[in-house]
Amino acid sequence: MIKQNNNYLIMKNFTKEKIIAILKDNTQNEWLFSLADEIRKENVGDEVHLRGLIEFSNICKRTCKYCGLRCENKEIDRYRIQPDDIIKYSQKAVEMGYKTIVLQSGEDEYYSCDVMCEIIKGIKNLDVALTLSIGERSFDDYKAFKDAGADRYLLRIETTDKDLYKQMHPYMDFDNRIRCLKDLKTLGYELGTGCLVGLPNQTVESLADDILFFNKIGADMVGIGPFIPHPNTPLKDFKTGDFTLALKVMALTRIIMKDINIPATTAMETLNPNGRIIALQSGANVVMPNVTTREYRAKYEIYPGKICVNEEPSQCRHCIEAKIKSIGRIISKTKGFHKTC
């Protein structure tokens, strides 16, 4: 497996110092990406898992400084998709061949525990895996969602640097976010987390901590994306995150965590027209095509320039399938659980 007699290769244990050294050194990036690709192939094979993403509400009570959905953004046209319609769109996604549905929204209390459970049960009747990405909730809510049939949960830590976390989320509590991640793990969800790369004041040292954190918390999935400044947020004048650095964080996560699921994120494609394919060739094995109908897509503007806002779900499916096949990879027919589970 080891291609070159390179210093980085002989280290089994990735210490923080070694990760920092790799993140700072741009002379061996191609080698790093191909090593991650090789480790991906050995551990999770050539299959790419497609997860159908439904962005069902852009209403959010939070004020994350980077996010276009933050409640202080008055420029955005807010929407909520009703439970029956969410189930209907899920059904369409299943008919298109999706084996996993991902339900994502802002933190919107309209979807109470009972309402969510109703949606979860409706979708689980379709014989698909279900991932939730609806933010911080109580242990009891997470338990009810699990009992109703939810399989996975995505909740990015965003950054493990507590000071930066406070700057980015002045009214949120880092410890509660950790509590959520631990509760989800305890309850038996497949746990997804991840971080942003390129936030103002973020250091490579803290990115190294993020990678080690993903491993320590036992993440089954890790999503990493570059920060993209949104014009209607307090971070509008800050620099866009670096695509290559985000790719390196992702590749290192693959090298260290080996068999987890790693999406080629939409934010990567927003910065580079071939971003998802490059990510799939640098450690990623999952893509999350949007299956939300066109009328809502542009309104779910977490960051500007989001891809596929003018497409319908079937167009996205065909487009990404063709791209994946063009690099010799296979569309998975399974639900794509983390294999150690």
Q: Which part of the chain contacts ligand FES (CB under 6 A), choosing from 1-9, 21-29, 64-72, 118-126?
A: 64-72
**The two three-digit tokens of residue 134, written as one number:** 């609806």
With respect to ligand 5AD, which residue has the nearer C-beta, 171 or 340? 171
d(CA 163, CA 271): 27
CB 54 within 8 A of CB 89: yes
Q: Which part of the chain contacts ligand FES (CB under 6 A), choosing from 25-33, 63-71, 77-85, 111-119?
A: 63-71
SS3 50: strand
CB 211 within 8 A of CB 253: yes
Q: Which part of the chain contacts ligand 5AD (CB under 6 A), choosing from 10-18, 166-174, 184-192, 224-232?
A: 224-232
| Contact call for residue 302 and ligand 5AD (CB under 6 A) | yes
CB 81 within 8 A of CB 56: yes
Nearest distance in Å: CB 137, ligand 5AD: 15
- Contacts of residue 131, Cβ cutoff 8 Å, sequence gap at least 6: 51, 100, 101, 102, 103, 150, 151, 152, 153, 154, 190, 192
Nearest distance in Å: CB 242, ligand 5AD: 12
Name the residue whose CB lies closest to ligand FES.
64
| Contact call for residue 65 and ligand FES (CB under 6 A) | no
Q: Work out which of 23, 50, 69, 247 binds ligand FES, going by CB under 6 A.
A: 69
The site partner of 168 among ligand 5AD, ligand FES, none (C-beta below 5 to 8 Å per kind) is none
Question: DSSP letter string over 142-160?
Answer: HHHHHHHT--EEE---B-S
Q: Work out which of 49, 51, 70, 306 binds ligand FES, going by CB under 6 A.
A: 70
Q: Work out which of 107, 118, 141, 311 binds ligand FES, going by CB under 6 A.
A: 107
CB 54 within 8 A of CB 101: yes
CB 311 within 8 A of CB 294: yes
What does the binding site for ligand 5AD look like in residue numbers (CB under 6 A)? 66-67, 156, 158, 196, 225, 227-228, 230, 267, 302-303
What does the binding site for ligand FES look like in residue numbers (CB under 6 A)? 60, 62, 64, 67, 69-70, 106-107, 135
